[in-house]
Amino acid sequence: MVGREGQQQKSSVGDGLLDPTLKSEILRYADFARICYSVIKNDEIVKESNNLRERGYEITDYIFYNVRLCTSYYRRPIGFIAVCTDENEIRRVGGRDIVVAFRGTSKRREWIQNLKDKVVPWQDLPGPSSKPVLGICKGFLGYYEDKGEYNCDSSPKDIIERTITRLVEKYKGESLSIIICGHSLGGALATMSAYHIKLLRPSTPVTVFTFASPRVGNRPFADHMEEIRVKVVRVVVKGDLVTKVPGLILNENAHNRVARLEGQKFVGQWAYCHVGTKIRLDPSSSPDLSWKARLFHRHNLETYLHLLTRYTTCSS
């Protein structure tokens, strides 16, 4: 469970049953990721979800990324920022939540961007000045920082920084927490934005719930996320191939294998590493999933929601 001070309360994430309180929190923000898909369809923003309003949340801003097709740039929606406005809900959870939600990959051009898996330094943020370098997947960094054709303040990074700053100032003096969630590519963007926000607002609790997220950065990035106390809960379905990339070969396991070798620094800087606490769901625990779903649909958010809702056996 995530506390208001950003401390992660002890919950069972070992082999066996998922702690009911933690399960409730995970399902709550998995549903925000699902709502993101319903709000953004075919690169267009549709009418705001009734489910969001029923929960007591209002969207304050949409997040757009800039994509280059041939010689022209286009802006496409990829997420939203919502704030809790229901006083009963605020009293129930002990403070006001700001939720940042991202959708996953939906177009072929986005898969092409995802394949740019070289680790590159994240140079635009005030991270630790000492070596080794904090490395991020080049494709994901492009989504997050590309300002578009006219180099204006319109990247997801700019939109999030501007909106979070405004909301924190608006609700100054209240108990605030920032929850970021996303599925697939959205999980990677959620992880990056959590790091960005925590550096901007060190005193504000920041928690991330990702579903089917790929790896985002290298070992120094993962270590610094933990150091600055960003709480990450990473939910994966056993056999979901997207959660194994980038870094199918050069990853945290490779780092551990060569930790005593002279090449440790090289591997640490260029190998990908997952972030946070992993909760793994097993599709074989559900007799309701068809063989086709078990084989081909392990990455779908619907599969994650099904397993979280009805079958709570997991391993960490």
- Global pTM value: 0.89
Which is higher by pLDDT, 126 or 310? 310
Residue 184 annotated among the catalytic residues of the structure: yes
Cis bond leading into 246, ω under 30°?
Answer: yes
Residue 29 pLDDT more than 70? yes
- Exposed/middle/buried for 292, CB within 10 Å: 0-12, 13-18, 19+? exposed
Q: Retrieve residue 233's tokens.
A: 């809960």
* DSSP 8-state symbol, 173: T
**Structure confidence by residue, pLDDT tens digits, 38-90:** 999 878 888 766 788 888 999 999 999 987 766 777 788 999 999 999 999 99
Residue 185 pLDDT more than 50? yes
What is the crossing angle of helices 301-310 and 20-39, to 10°?
150
**Which runs of consecutive H residues, i.e. helices, occur in 171-300?**
185-200, 219-227, 252-257, 264-270, 291-296
Q: Per-residue pLDDT averaged across 255-278, rounded?
A: 66
Which one from 154, 184, 193, 213 is the annotated catalytic residue?
Answer: 184
Q: What is the percent of the chain where pLDDT is above 70?
A: 78
Residue 240 annotated among the catalytic residues of the structure: yes
pLDDT of residue 107: 66
**Cβ-Cβ contacts under 8 Å for 213 (sequence gap 6 or more):** 182, 183, 184, 186, 187, 188, 190, 191, 234, 236, 242, 243
- The domains located in the chain, with CATH, are 18-315 (3.40.50.1820)
Q: How many C-alpha atoms does 81 have within 13 Å on its Cβ side?
A: 23
pLDDT of residue 27: 95
Which one from 19, 97, 146, 240 is the annotated catalytic residue?
Answer: 240
Facing residues of 232 across strands? 208
Q: Per-residue pLDDT averaged across 84-108, rounded?
A: 91
Highest mean pLDDT among 21-30, 51-60, 71-80, 190-199: 190-199
Task: Find out whether 234 and 277 touch, Cβ atoms under 8 Å.
Answer: yes
**Structure confidence by residue, pLDDT tens digits, 107-160:** 666 656 666 778 888 876 666 665 568 899 999 999 999 988 766 768 999 999
Residue 168 pLDDT more than 50? yes
CA 266 to chain centre: 26
pLDDT of residue 5: 47
pLDDT of residue 113: 62
Which is higher by pLDDT, 160 or 16? 160
pLDDT of residue 130: 56
Residue 96 pLDDT more than 60? yes
